[in-house]
Structure 1
């Protein structure tokens, strides 16, 4: 790990996965939309009401998330009404669940008011709280300081 981290000034951020992810989901409104989508919200008016985002901004964010492949726009029609669209999570969107869970866990610990968290997420099979956990592919829980960083195939180095 040492050589790569000590040589960080030679790295280019041009191919950074974190930066690219933030380009897609890095705004407050986008995270709130994803929270709602993961809780089952599908329709535009419900997103606006539940996320507290104005219609123009909501329309723009939903369009960006569809373009990014996080949500899919599906037509539906209620009897006697015009065709409208709902938004469903794609696999790419569903895989943001651990990210949103980690943000909620952190917020519950460090940003909730004195009354405590507004919602409690529990496992429906056993009732225990749900937490995001770092785990390696072999199944070991990984703590801070136990992660080694190595150059990946997409690392771009300066000069």
Structure 2
């Protein structure tokens, strides 16, 4: 069993998401698709990734339900494909925002981050905030604990 399959089979949302994103090319591909880059040649050129690697990653993401392939045809040209994030893929936006937030705080260097997420409505910078379902704003995790969720495995009962 390879590492991706092993991680995907764990009863852990972090492991399953890590398996879905698999490697840096996949993360960057989801990033660019989220920015509206949709065509294979544009993705290959923008990422600087080998076409074989890009083709494999796109196929995996389509198979995982993260990306959909949509055929298009320019007048006088052959049918080609565009790739778009599905709802599942768009939901990864918060994961990428968390990666960006971490990188901005810890890896950007003295010059600061290369891009800043900005609210279109008011122009203010956007930051991630943890909020519980009762509306309380939380810190960086020191006031959060984990409890079994509805998908947690049920421990086996010992025979009596």
TM over 0.5: yes
Bigger RCO of structures 1 and 2 (CA < 8 A, at least 6 apart): 1
Q: Work out whether 1:148 is the aligned partner of 2:145.
A: yes
What SS does the aligned partner of 2:71 have?
Answer: strand
Q: Distance in 2 between matches of 1:112 and 1:76?
A: 39
1:85-96 equivalences under 5 Å are: 85-96=81-92
Of residues 46, 55, 59, the one that matches 1:63 is: 59
Q: Work out whether 1:19 is the aligned partner of 2:20.
A: no
What SS does the aligned partner of 2:10 have?
Answer: helix
Q: Distance in 2 between matches of 1:40 and 1:121?
A: 15
Deviation at residue 101 of structure 1 after TM alignment: 0.9
Task: Extract unaligned runs of 5+ from structure 2.
Answer: 1-8
Q: 1:155 to 1:125 in 2, by over 3 A?
A: same
**Residue of structure 2 in register with 1:4 after alignment:** none
Of residues 50, 54, 59, the one that matches 1:54 is: 50
What SS does the aligned partner of 1:19 have?
Answer: helix
Aligned residues: 147
**Residue of structure 1 in register with 2:112 after alignment:** 116
Deviations 1:73-95 (A, max 9, x none): 00000011100000011110111
Q: 1:54 to 1:158 in 2, by over 3 A?
A: farther
Task: Extract unaligned runs of 5+ from structure 1.
Answer: 1-12
Q: Distance in 1 between matches of 2:95 and 2:16?
A: 15
